[in-house]
Every structure is written in C-alpha cells, then in structure tokens.
Amino acid sequence: MQIEKLNIGNNSPFVLIAGPCVVENEAITFSTAKTVKEITTELGIPFIFKASYKKANRTSLHSFKGIGDKEALEILLQIKKNLDVPILTDVHTVEEVELAAKYVDVLQIPAFLCRQTDLLLAAGKTGKVVNIKKGQFLAPEDMKHAAEKILSTKNERVMLTERGTTFGYHNLVVDMRSLVIMRELGFPVVMDATHAVQLPSKGNLSGGQPKFIKPLAKAAVAIGVDALFFEVHPNPKEALSDAYSQLPLSELKDLLIDLKQIDEITKKEHSR
C-alpha cells in the first residue's frame, strides 16, 4: 500500500506513526512534528504524523477533548504542507468522517468503535487509507469482518492495529500472535506500543506503564510488523491526554535506532 510517498507492507521497512495524543495547541503540535520529522529523516524511517483533532472517548466528562475541530484540523493541515508528511487522525462518527477527510491522509477508527458499520462504511467511501484499531474485546481473526466493511466500498486501503486486549479490569495484555494472525488476513499490520501499556479507566483517567513501551515495540519489530505507532510528547506528565502512556520525545531517537536494526535483520530473514 502507498500513503503519499510512503510504502507500507510487503516486507518494506517499518513506517513510524507518531505524534502527541491530541492537538493541545499549535506550538506543541508543530514542535513535536518537526522534531520527529528531523529524527526520521536522519535515520531514513518513513513517517506519518499522528494527532487526534478531538477526543470523543475520554474516561471523564471533565477530561480535555480538544481546542475546536476546525482549528485543530487546520493545524494538522499546515503540518502536512510545511513538513511534507502524511497525517493520521481519529474519527468517531459518520459526520466527522466527511470533515476530517478534507484535511488528512489516514482516517483511524478507534478500538472501541471497530464494529460500527456505518462509521466504517463512511470512512471507506472517502477512498482514504483507513486504519482500524482492534477492539480490546476482539479476537484478531475477527478483524476480517471490520476490514470487509471497508472493502465493500471498493476501498482496499486498510491497515489493522494491535493495541492490547482487556485482561480483567483496568489492564491490557498484548498477545503477539495477533500480529501474525492479522497479517494473514492480507493487510498491513501496525503495533500501537503506547496504548498497549495503558491501565484503562483507573478513577477518572487512564493510567499506564510506559516502561513496557520499548520492549513491546522491539518484540513487534522482531515479528516483522509493518508499522509502529507511538504517542510521543515533549513532557508526557504535562500532556492533556494519555499522560501516563506517552513516550517522552527525548527517548524516541535512541529507540528508533534500535528498532531499525532489528527491522533490517527481521525483514532480511523474511525475504529469504
């Protein structure tokens, strides 16, 4: 699959999908995108910038939801133009799809919404790449049904993302077999190594165990994943969303150096 100038899947080097959880303001969003772009350009890693223009699935009514839909989308569009990077953002309703599709390259279906037929059909009809996150409640093989809804619109540009499975209350686990199973469905597979370390809905917000981000990412690359998804922030403790599960921006470069080395070995083995 091609996303703008990037190739994803078919044993290509992994693509990085990264950015802050949500558009907090223009300064943080731009500076984060610029830093990640500089790092990935230096390392030769394909890069898609990610930020939610709104958060419609927060734990608490009082949690930060966004700065305004069009204002946030305009910031994402300027990043796309100024830094020459594809943009990914979430959509939550059929009505949001038409608006967001005017600004971004990849529409992402949140995990909790991966069975919402009308939402999937609307996203598919845009012709944009659609990244479907596997629901915390779904077996990986069942993601074929979500993908088929996109395919029914004559849009074959589908990616599937692993982000952990509910394990009791307030906990997620990642079954690495799911990366293999979902790839066997015939679509590029993404590992979301930051949401996978969340401790969902503990009190009025979600907690996290960020020390496991790097091990999960390395394991996924060793399997041969097509893309890695990180939420990164200059100061995660001050982030307005997912403060306990974002990767510090300062740690990204060293991690990517390790991941690129693993990816090269893995993809070389797969090509034999």
Tokens of 159: 């990616």
DSSP string, the chain: -EETTEE-STTPPPEEEEE-SB---HHHHHHHHHHHHHHHHHHT--EEEE-BS-----SSTTS---S-HHHHHHHHHHHHHHHT--EEEE--SHHHHHHHTTT-SEEEE-GGGTT-HHHHHHHHHTTSEEEEEPPTTS-GGGHHHHHHHHHTTT---EEEEE--EE-SSS-EE--THHHHHHHTTTS-EEEETTGGGEEEEETTEEEE-GGGHHHHHHHHHHHT-SEEEEEEESSGGG-SS-TTTPEEGGGHHHHHHHHHHHHHHHHHHHT-
Condensed to tens digits (0 to 9), the pLDDT of residues 172-192 reads 999 999 999 999 999 999 999
Q: Using 50, 70 and 90 to split pLDDT, how confident is the model at 204?
A: low
The answer on pLDDT for 115 being more than 70 is yes
The answer on pLDDT for 63 being more than 90 is no
User: What would the mean pLDDT of 132-149 be, rounded to a whole number?
Assistant: 98
Q: Using 50, 70 and 90 to split pLDDT, how confident is the model at 265?
A: very high
Q: What is the pLDDT of residue 257?
A: 98
The answer on pLDDT for 202 being more than 80 is no
The answer on pLDDT for 114 being more than 70 is yes
Condensed to tens digits (0 to 9), the pLDDT of residues 79-107 reads 999 999 999 999 999 999 999 999 999 99
Q: What is the pLDDT of residue 185?
A: 98
Q: What is the pLDDT of residue 2?
A: 94
User: What would the mean pLDDT of 61-89 be, rounded to a whole number?
Assistant: 94
Q: What is the pLDDT of residue 203?
A: 67
**Distance between CA 270 and CA 264 in Å, rounded?**
10
- In order of 122, 148, 155, 211, the CA distances from 18 in angstroms are 25, 27, 24, 18
Tokens of 28: 């943080």
The answer on pLDDT for 62 being more than 80 is no
Q: Using 50, 70 and 90 to split pLDDT, how confident is the model at 61?
A: confident
- Arithmetic mean of pLDDT over the chain: 95
Query: On the CB side of 21, how many CA atoms lie within 13 Å of its CA?
Result: 26
Nearest to 96 by CA among 135, 57, 64, 60: 57
Condensed to tens digits (0 to 9), the pLDDT of residues 11-52 reads 999 999 999 999 999 999 999 999 999 999 999 999 999 999
In this structure, of 9-18, 56-65, 154-163, 244-253, the range with the lowest mean pLDDT score is 56-65
Note the pTM of the prediction, 2 decimals: 0.96
The answer on pLDDT for 272 being more than 70 is no
In this structure, of 10-24, 159-173, 202-216, 220-234, the range with the lowest mean pLDDT score is 202-216
The answer to whether domain 2-270 has CATH 3.20.20.70 is yes
Domain boundaries, the chain: 2-270
